């Protein structure tokens, strides 16, 4: 039987943080979880869009418990401020959905001097997860769900030129960041299990879903043909953002979902109900995952602190 929104268990009493919940997949993820009874906190950089997201969610789920906190994942200072505020004011967290991202943008450096796609899509979520780990460990059965992409199949990690100073292709760098999402998920799972911690690390991808991300990528690269192709693809081929969010929601809520799993659409990895997804051989490379983890520690100045179970 296909897994649909009807299979989402009651989420009453659970608190969820969704990064980038102000639009697209993140908005649909937040809406579904709020409709199931969760208290959802949207962590977003754009305050105006985030307030619009609140109105959208409350329009379809009047009883929704939903709020916004500012977070710029491309800034390690912003991530640190968010985690410190959360630990000081809230203390506990049931689910962290690492959803936000940028796609195929011209080479730009973050406030910390790192290539923007690597900084936002991977490093920011790495720092956010490690910073919130005490809150996650304070809740039995807590989960971290990191959103990757089927594009990771074409990814490789350019350790000798992580920031694209020598060579930069916007799609190759996007694929690198999405591969890093899966390597992070797997290494986090291994470290949590080694510590016997009661926190799960899972990943998901939306397949081909119609969101604003493709339009933004086309506009920012300045490639009219690329933008037009994405627009036509969204209209004729892509599934809805709501369907694209289902793998993430299943990873976040299905009682049978296990740590280390990767969820995606059933049909060709592009469409349909969420099922366990295949991943590229590079995403299963434990030595590569450890190296990405070590680089991430060096760049963020953070290491995983886990209370042993």
Residues identified as active-site: 174
d(CA 205, CA 119): 19
Q: Which residues contact 291 (CB under 8 A, 6 or more apart)?
A: 157, 159
For residues 211 and 106, what is the distance between their CA atoms, to the nearest angstrom?
A: 19
Residue 223 CA to residue 73 CA, distance in Å, equals 26
Outline where 36-108 has alpha helix (H). 47-60, 76-89
Burial-class residue 282 by CB neighbours within 10 Å (0-12, 13-18, 19+).
middle
Torsion angle (degrees, nearest 10) of CA 27, 31, 32, 36 = 150
**Angle in degrees, CA 226, 97, 93, rounded to 5:** 160
Instruction: Name residues whose C-beta falls within 8 Å of residue 236's C-beta, 6 or more positions apart in sequence.
Output: none
At 274, list the tokens: 């969420």
């Amino acid at each position: 039987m296909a897994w649909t929104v009807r299979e989402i268990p009651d989420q009453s009493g659970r608190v969820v943080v969704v990064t980038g919940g102000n639009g697209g997949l993140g908005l649909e993820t937040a809406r579904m979880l709020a409709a199931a009874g969760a208290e959802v906190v949207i962590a977003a950089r754009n305050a105006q869009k985030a307030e619009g997201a609140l109105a959208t969610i409350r329009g379809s789920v009047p009883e929704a418990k939903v709020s916004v906190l500012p977070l710029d994942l491309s800034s390690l200072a912003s991530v640190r401020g968010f985690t410190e505020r959360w630990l000081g004011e809230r203390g506990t967290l049931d689910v962290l959905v690492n959803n936000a991202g940028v796609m195929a943008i011209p080479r730009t450096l973050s406030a910390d001097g790192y290539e923007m796609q690597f900084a936002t899509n991977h490093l920011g979520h790495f720092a956010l997860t490690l910073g919130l780990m005490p809150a996650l460990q304070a809740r039995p059965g807590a989960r971290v769900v990191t959103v990757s992409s089927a594009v990771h199949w074409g990814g490789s990690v350019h350790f000798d030129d992580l920031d694209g100073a020598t060579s930069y292709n916007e799609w190759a760098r996007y694929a690198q960041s999405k591969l890093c999402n899966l390597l992070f998920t797997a290494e986090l799972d291994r470290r949590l299990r080694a510590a016997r911690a009661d926190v799960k690390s899972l990943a998901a991808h939306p397949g081909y879903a119609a969101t604003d991300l493709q339009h933004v990528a086309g506009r920012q690269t300045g490639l009219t043909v690329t933008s037009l192709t994405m627009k036509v693809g969204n209209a004729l081929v892509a599934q809805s953002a709501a369907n694209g969010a289902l793998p993430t929601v299943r990873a976040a809520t299905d009682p049978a979902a296990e740590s280390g799993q990767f969820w995606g659409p059933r049909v060709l990895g592009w469409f349909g109900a969420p099922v366990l997804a295949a991943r590229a051989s590079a995403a299963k490379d434990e030595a590569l995952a450890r190296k990405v983890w070590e680089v991430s520690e060096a760049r963020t100045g953070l290491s995983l602190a886990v209370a042993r179970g």
